[in-house]
Structure 1
Amino acid sequence: MLRVVFLLFLTNVSTYAISCFNATHADLISLQKTYTLVRITCTQFLSPIVCITGIFTNILNIAVLARPRMRSTTNIYLLALAVCDLLYGLIVLIISFRIYTIFGHSYTYMRLFPYLIATGDLCSHTASWLTCSFTVERFIAISSPILARRVCTPERCKCIIIVLCLCNILVNIPEMFSRVMRNTQKSNSTWLGVDVDKYVTNSTSYQETEMQHSAIVHHESYQLILTSLTEWLRKIGWPVILVVLEVILPLLILIIFNALLIRFVVQRSFVQATLQTSIQRKHSDVALSTREISYTNEHPCTPHSGGSSRTKRFMEQHDRGIDRQNVWPHHNIELFGERSPDRKPTVKLSHVQQGHTAGLVVHSSVSERHRITIMLIAVVLVYIVFTLPSVMLYLVHETHPCRTTEYVQIQLRVAGNLINLGLAINSSLNFFLYSLLSRRFRTTFHTLLHCKY
């Protein structure tokens, strides 16, 4: 995964650093071969593997998060996110079939292709805002627990999810009508069932070289062209508005709130360490008192010069008839225990021991919330890592001084293939993050596997 992230970053940086120069014919041929190799590797091999893995893992996510014991506002958001990632993986898998000539020249497939692209973008954008929602919800939950009880309710959570879906549908409707299919008749050279001269320059030498490894086929070909609606939307700056609303703004929200969550986790870790030290100190005091009492019981005539007021109180309880020697040495303590006819009397915990037990309960609860927060931080960080390159690519595409040259266009396509692969990987990783960082998720998944309902 780190290699893919590094390659994505390197691709974007190197793409933007390209100087405007007149690429030679040999440069174009070499770059086109690189593009063909990257396109085949990403689209024909890696992308289907990643998408199939993501489909399977997101089905598992839905099965686990839908269990009754997993019901919470955070898990409702994660369940909706799993549905979006599942649909995104399915659509990307179907889109990747276009590289095969049997699909690329199918009327039905190409007719649906613009709607597949728009639906995939819709799922991706909805997932972005869902990630923002549970990040903000987690920040409210840890910073203002009282406010969270009133605001972060399951009903309100479901309403937010519905509103986000409807808003994203409205925003992405124009994209569904931005492309149309046009029927063209042409001859294509194919390699491994893939059109290698799509987006190729009018280079006869390149085509002649590739003909030695391919065959010429004459068939109906379909091409996607932009509609007049797209031209009008570009004039009013709609593509920029769309990128800001669906990519840049969610990324800014996630970066800000994720930084606040990380800060809280660091502070909470320090508080937990202090609390753990305090609990251990109290536990040591209780153990010391127990040893003092046991020593006094075994040597009733021996004066204990170091006896404290706590020891005297325990001695007074012993004089009133509590069998302390049977209870304390073996730590057989019951909370608010009642006398049973077939067993010796039990005792309520002292204030020190009640504080020790309560501290353990609080520590366990805080640790669970701490792990949930860390898990959500990991989900957001992975999302940022794989989504940020797409923003960089868009900025390069809009601001690069040589973006209209053929050499830069091919480089942008190479980067686009790698970035699309990264987005597919992002939609497939959440199951592994949940399994690694959430104990409750692992337990529920284990129960689900063994059919223990």
Structure 2
Amino acid sequence: MNGTENTLVNPKSKSLYFLQQCRFWIPNVVAPIIFIIGLFGNVMTIIVLTRKRMSGSTNTYLTALAVSDLLYLIFYMTLSLEHHMSDTKYILYWKYWRFAVWFADATVAISTWLTVSFTLERYIAVCHPLKGKVVCTEARARKVIGFVVMFCLISTVTTPFEWNTQININPETNKTTVIQYSSLGKNKTYKTIFYWFSGITFVFIPLILLGTLNYLLINAVRISQQKRKNLTEGNSRKNYKEKQENKITTALVAVVFLFLFCQGPSAITLILSIFYNPEEGTDGYNIVHGVGNIFNLLLAVNAAFNFLLYCAMSDKYRQTMYRTFCPSLAINHQRANTFSSNASYRSSMHR
């Protein structure tokens, strides 16, 4: 947040060297690569999932998740430029910076609760199919998405007011500071209440729900696979339908596991920041902010790579992607799938 030089100077300590390395390699090298991949992947996902043949409540949630991830990547990429913006001529950037932090936090929160929402919906569809036909609709999904977006934006609306944009030059060190904590940002009562609220609302409750629901979903898929092995020859079509449903469930479980792996570390640091906030220039400050750069990168990885899971685990997603972007490949892919399905059906008839 303070203006710092981007060139690597001789550090006074290993912790400072670690922080400098993180601030150099992550925003200058790694983040742009992640951003380009995520930009391509999320735009492609939005296009694919909004095709008519992909309509459905689950894909409505996944489309909203792709939009949220795309927005997060944009804000993350612009925020990563902060260490290039120490000059006073970039005052407009720092005015934008406060709101970019808000929207970045809000989109992470939105992605969190969208993940919980489609996991809960999948649990209802798989474990309570009769109720799922009534509850799991596109109209309801759109209402849930709207509520999640509004709730997360309102819950984080105080974020830009934690900072003031003001140019200060230290005459002794000639160091320029453009952004600093406001009276609200320094208020210990506010910080304690806000961080505990964020920790409970966007960390503890989602983690408990995701852990429980995914355990139940994985167990349901395992039972379904066991039942499918025992199906009679006359149920081959039902067998195929259940297999496709299990693929969808497995893909969503994989999305959740990627989410937990990438979001977990940042969630932990959010809680720790309530109890531990070292002063600038100390080893603790250098380590916390260096690790924070790495954990923020993991959030970007999560936002960028969901589409790879869809490609790897969803036949329908791949087919629609081929039809949309490479029609010639779609024909070959469909023929291969048809041959595979027929062969599977014939083999089941001759067991």
Please indicate the TM-score interval, normalised by the length of the shorter structure.
Answer: 0.7 to 0.9
1:80 alignment partner, one of 60, 64, 67: 64
Aligned residue number for residue 21 of structure 2 = 37
Amino acid at match of 1:158: R
Aligned residue number for residue 187 of structure 2 = 231
Deviations 1:73-103 (A, max 9, x none): 0000000000000100111111111122477
Deviations 1:174-199 (A, max 9, x none): 112111112112589xxxxxxxxxxx
Q: Does 1:427 align with 2:336?
A: no
Q: How does 1:102-113 map onto structure 2 within 5 Å?
A: 106-113=90-97
Q: CA RMSD in A?
A: 2.5
Secondary structure of the equivalent of 1:408?
helix
Task: Label 1:72 to 1:233 Cα distance change in 2 as closer, same or farther (>3 A).
Answer: farther
Q: Does 1:99 align with 2:55?
A: no
Which is worse superposed, 426-435 or 100-109? 100-109
Aligned residue number for residue 58 of structure 1 = 42
Aligned residue number for residue 285 of structure 1 = none
Aligned residue number for residue 49 of structure 1 = 33
Deviation at 1:42, TM superposition (A): 1.0
Q: Is the 8 A contact 2:266 2:295 kept in 1?
A: yes
Q: Does 1:222 align with 2:157?
A: no
Task: Label 1:66 to 1:393 Cα distance change in 2 as closer, same or farther (>3 A).
Answer: same
Gaps of 5+ in 1: 1-25, 189-201, 203-217, 280-355
Amino acid at match of 2:169: Q
Aligned residue number for residue 147 of structure 1 = 131
Q: How does 1:43-442 map onto structure 2 within 5 Å?
A: 43-101=27-85, 106-186=90-170, 221-228=177-184, 231=187, 234=190, 237-275=193-231, 278-279=232-233, 356=234, 359-399=235-275, 403=278, 406-442=282-318
Secondary structure of the equivalent of 1:256?
helix
Instruction: Determine what percentage of the aligned residue pairs are the same residue.
Output: 24
TM-score, structure 1 normalization: 0.66
Secondary structure of the equivalent of 2:178?
strand
**Higher share in helix:** 2
Deviation at 1:236, TM superposition (A): 5.9
Whole-Å separation in 1 of the counterparts to 2:293 and 2:15: 14
Secondary structure of the equivalent of 2:254?
helix
Q: Is the 8 A contact 1:393 1:415 kept in 2?
A: no
Amino acid at match of 1:374: T
Q: Is the 8 A contact 1:114 1:179 kept in 2?
A: yes
Aligned residue number for residue 5 of structure 2 = none
Task: Label 1:251 to 1:226 Cα distance change in 2 as closer, same or farther (>3 A).
Answer: farther
Secondary structure of the equivalent of 2:304?
coil
Secondary structure of the equivalent of 2:165?
strand
Task: Label 1:104 to 1:416 Cα distance change in 2 as closer, same or farther (>3 A).
Answer: farther
Amino acid at match of 1:56: F
Secondary structure of the equivalent of 1:223?
strand
Secondary structure of the equivalent of 2:113?
helix
Whole-Å separation in 2 of the counterparts to 1:148 and 1:231: 46
Task: Label 1:248 to 1:155 Cα distance change in 2 as closer, same or farther (>3 A).
Answer: same
Q: Does 1:450 align with 2:326?
A: yes
Whole-Å separation in 2 of the counterparts to 1:441 and 1:103: 47
Deviations 1:400-423 (A, max 9, x none): 5x9558221211111101100101
Gaps of 5+ in 2: 1-9, 331-351
Whole-Å separation in 2 of the counterparts to 1:386 and 1:105: 35
Deviation at 1:228, TM superposition (A): 2.7
Amino acid at match of 2:72: Y
Q: Is the 8 A contact 2:69 2:304 kept in 1?
A: yes
Q: Is the 8 A contact 1:103 1:109 kept in 2?
A: no
Q: Which protein is bigger by CA-based radius of gyration? A: 1
Secondary structure of the equivalent of 1:173?
coil
Whole-Å separation in 2 of the counterparts to 1:182 and 1:170: 26
Task: Label 1:253 to 1:447 Cα distance change in 2 as closer, same or farther (>3 A).
Answer: same
Deviation at 1:47, TM superposition (A): 1.1
Give the number of aligned pairs. Answer: 319
Deviation at 1:127, TM superposition (A): 0.6
